[in-house]
Chain A
Amino acid sequence: MASTVEELVARAEALALDVDLTGVAAWKEADPARRVVGYLPVFVPIEIITAAGMHPVGIIGGTDQVEIIRGDAYFQSYICHIPRSVVELGLSGRLDVCDGFLFPSTCDVIRNMSGIWKLEFPDKYVKYVDVPQNFDPEIGGNWWRHEITSLRADLEKLGEIEITDESMWTAIALHDENRRLLRNLYDLRSERPWLAPTSEVYLMQRAGLVLPVQEHNELLREYTEAATNSDRPLMDNSRIVLAGAFCEQPPLGLLRTLERAGCWIVDDDLLLGPRMITEPIIDPEGPVGDPVDALVKAFLDKAAAASFIYIDEKVKGAELADMVDKRQAEGVIFAAPSFCDPALLDRPMLARALDERGISHISMKYSENTGQFQTIREQAGTFADALKLWSDA
């Protein structure tokens, strides 16, 4: 019997809130040769981890579940919340299951965390993954090829295995499928948000951080089908795009608050990393050439806009405004983690792009353990009120 939406959501929620990584630990215990590699937000080429037969685990903070005790001894009050909860997870042994950690170049905080990890966990494999900010295939492309190749070599050493081109193609195909399913789900949510509200879609995505990609694909398929066929009643809320939440994630309560205050989120940059490549990496005709080249090209040509990537000659905010149009949204809510430099420094530029296209927007800050939503509800509610009272008035 197929599972109901409620069952699937409950399963995803359990996975998403499993800060002790019990599922991952069970996976690993099944075979002593198995390895787990954690990656921090936002973007790493996880295909290589999968290709190595390892379990990539997205380490994205401790949600509002984890009490911060030692984490504050590592970060001052004016640094965002996620690093302290990640440190808390690490020091409390909850990340022991990971054999290695990847720290992508996202911002100075995650960058410096790679060094903290080296100091605190000298026995673990730690790599800082430096994505290029130059998009010439011969220059930035070469650099990225070098980063991917050295990561591949490192993982081969860590797993005492060889990562063949064939396994690379297989992994790329799996993750291509994963991204396709996610895009599907996003489309469904945008068309009929009451069938697949963001508070659920988000859990489905988040579950993927701790599931092997095959299992996650299965979950996404099941949920999308169940949600499509559910008979939830239509609700007339305002349609908004959520922006700024690509790294530290808002608490579930915030997403629910927005929905309750009358806003459907019809697109977002939540958990951006696994969705960063926006088109299939493998050509429709099938794999050709070197899989590393395919990964390099995917980053250079098919990556979503993100504030930690240099805009080059493009116009900042154009992608966001296009997204609003594509999703027929009525406005944008910037919700960024407090003290998140990349998101907050981008905000005025994005706002300007939206203003030029006449799109209304509001802005708020959160941290992953924000527990009081009055202010947020007030702001989102007023925004929704304004869209409601003034659009059909």
Chain B
Amino acid sequence: MNGLDCWVGIDLGSTTTKAVILDSEGAILGRGITNSRSNYDVACAVARAEAFVDARFALARRTLEADAELAPRTELLLPVIAASFAEAKHGAALDALRAELLVAARNDFYKSWQPALDRVLGEIVDEMEVRAPALFVPGAERKSDFFRDLASSSFMQLSEEAADPGTMPQDVLIGMFDKAIIKVENQELEVSFEEHVGQALDRLLEAAGLEAGERARAAELMEYAVGMPLQERAHVGTGYGRARLPFPKASIRSEILCHGLGAHATFPSTRTVLDIGGQDTKAIQVDERGIVTGFQMNDRCAAGCGRYLGYIADEMNLGVHELGPMAMKSTRKVKINSTCTVFAGAELRDRLNLGQQREDILAGLHRAIMLRAMSLLARSGGVHDDFTFTGGVARNPAAVRALRELVTENYGERKINISAASIYTGALGAAIFARRAEDADESTEEAAA
């Protein structure tokens, strides 16, 4: 079987690590994301692995759609396979969590809480396992894509229920979790793709969603997609942590250039790009070639970035996903003053105590963030058509709404692009750089030959 050439871009962000795989046509084959964690190599490897899995799905989709018989069943097959795969990964991580929790509980420091500690921890994980499948029903809403967030949220809840101030303080349980989760997320968990395709197909068969003949055909096609060798020709890294990537210097690009290029590739007529990530905000102006002509970024202070929302979400015991939709329900304007991320939590509490609605407060917070972004945009040269909003915060509908309002109020009507995959913009730019560099090398080689 002839393999497929591909190029990889990796954006090692402060909060999330993203990977994008391009094929020889420059089309996106796969995307992967994970939370950046203490071990950058692992984060990088996980994002890359996820992107390759995603690429497999893309190949599978291509194959299925090209098959006369199965094409109509694509939308039935793929989500189930994906969900099954995700659930399996989650299960593997839970296993690891269980093991690490028990290791943590062995520490002498916690001797006085034993043996109850082991038991309570075990019960919590049992319950987490029980709840897991519900998370992975195709189409289910999850608080986050990341194991850390999902596990943390249910652990918090379960540990609160299990805790007792005298005999088993919640602080102790949380302490166990904090210790264990670091270990878990720094392991690369092996989950076999092939195996889960098979399981998913069986499940569909059981649920009578699929006929036996279709199953066989599907298995055949999937085997092809899964077996296709993917040859990584080159990679480029970018992002906040790029200096720490295990790449040679030539394979590292400034994140500003990558974001500019990535946005240009997605929306060729874009001239202004705003990227709001976990702890930095960039306003970039690009020309018709995607070349950066001006930029501004915040520094020294993380006020008004994605982390700010993260703090607020923690404070309210919500996932970052839920903040935007909640803020969209606001009916009254509230002006938020805190510029500091850490103080925002305190202000939130103050205002809740004053009886303000949390929807309104949240809307005010989103506007506050966007006001800061507007300043950077103004500094970088304004907002020009088309305007593209990228980065994780572009996934947040309330942030997008606040931005739209402010842009229109201050610059008039602008075409605003928001790509569903906006969080991958930097990684995409990096992948394009990887492809280009390779082209350039080849052309020189050819010239020399």
Asked whether the complex places CB atoms of A and B closer than 8 A, the reply is yes
Interface residues of A in 354-376 (CB under 8 A from B): 369-372
B337 in contact with A72 (CB, 8 Å) = no
Judge whether B226 is part of the interface by a CB distance below 8 angstroms: no
The listed residue with most A CB atoms (<10 A of its CB), out of B338, B378, B379, is B378
Judge whether B65 is part of the interface by a CB distance below 8 angstroms: no
Contact of B375 among A68, A371, A372 (CB under 8 A): A68
Complex interface: chain B residues within 8 A of A69 (CB)? 371, 374-375, 378, 406, 410
Judge whether B347 is part of the interface by a CB distance below 8 angstroms: yes
A70 to B377, CA, bound (A): 8
* Contact digits for B399-438, partner A, Cβ 8 Å, 1 yes 0 no: 0000000100010000000000000000000000000000
Judge whether B335 is part of the interface by a CB distance below 8 angstroms: yes
Complex interface: chain B residues within 8 A of A92 (CB)? 410
A73 in contact with B375 (CB, 8 Å) = yes
Residue of A nearest to B406 (CB): A69
Interface residues of A in 49-94 (CB under 8 A from B): 67-73, 92
B379 in contact with A73 (CB, 8 Å) = yes
A73 to B371, CA, bound (A): 12
A371 to B344, CA, bound (A): 12
Smallest Cβ distance from B367 to chain A, in angstroms? 9
Contact of B347 among A68, A72, A73, A372 (CB under 8 A): A372
**How many B residues face the partner with a CB closer than 8 A?**
14
A305 to B344, CA, bound (A): 41
Residue of B nearest to A369 (CB): B337
Complex interface: chain B residues within 8 A of A70 (CB)? 375, 378, 410
Contact of A72 among B338, B379, B406 (CB under 8 A): B379
Smallest Cβ distance from B218 to chain A, in angstroms? 54
A69 to B379, CA, bound (A): 9
A67 in contact with B378 (CB, 8 Å) = no
A71 to B337, CA, bound (A): 17
Smallest Cβ distance from B342 to chain A, in angstroms? 13
Complex interface: chain B residues within 8 A of A71 (CB)? 375
* Contact digits for B324-366, partner A, Cβ 8 Å, 1 yes 0 no: 0000000000011110000100010000000000000000000
B337 in contact with A372 (CB, 8 Å) = yes
Complex interface: chain A residues within 8 A of B406 (CB)? 69
Q: A72-B378, A73-B378 are in contact. Are A67 and B337 (CB under 8 A)?
A: no
Complex interface: chain A residues within 8 A of B338 (CB)? 371-372
Complex interface: chain A residues within 8 A of B347 (CB)? 372
Residue of B nearest to A72 (CB): B375
Complex interface: chain B residues within 8 A of A369 (CB)? 337
* Contact digits for B25-41, partner A, Cβ 8 Å, 1 yes 0 no: 00000000000000000
Complex interface: chain A residues within 8 A of B336 (CB)? 371
B379 in contact with A371 (CB, 8 Å) = no
A72 to B373, CA, bound (A): 11
* Contact digits for B261-299, partner A, Cβ 8 Å, 1 yes 0 no: 000000000000000000000000000000000000000
Residue of A nearest to B379 (CB): A73
Smallest Cβ distance from B344 to chain A, in angstroms? 11
Complex interface: chain A residues within 8 A of B379 (CB)? 72-73
Complex interface: chain B residues within 8 A of A370 (CB)? 337
A72 to B377, CA, bound (A): 10
Given contacts A72-B378, A73-B378, 13 further A-B contacts (CB under 8 A): A68-B371, A69-B406, A70-B378, A71-B375, A73-B379, A369-B337, A370-B337, A371-B335, A371-B336, A371-B337, A371-B338, A372-B337, A372-B338
Which 8 A-B residue pairings sit nearest by Cβ, starting from the closest?
A: A371-B337, A73-B378, A72-B375, A73-B379, A70-B378, A69-B374, A69-B410, A372-B337
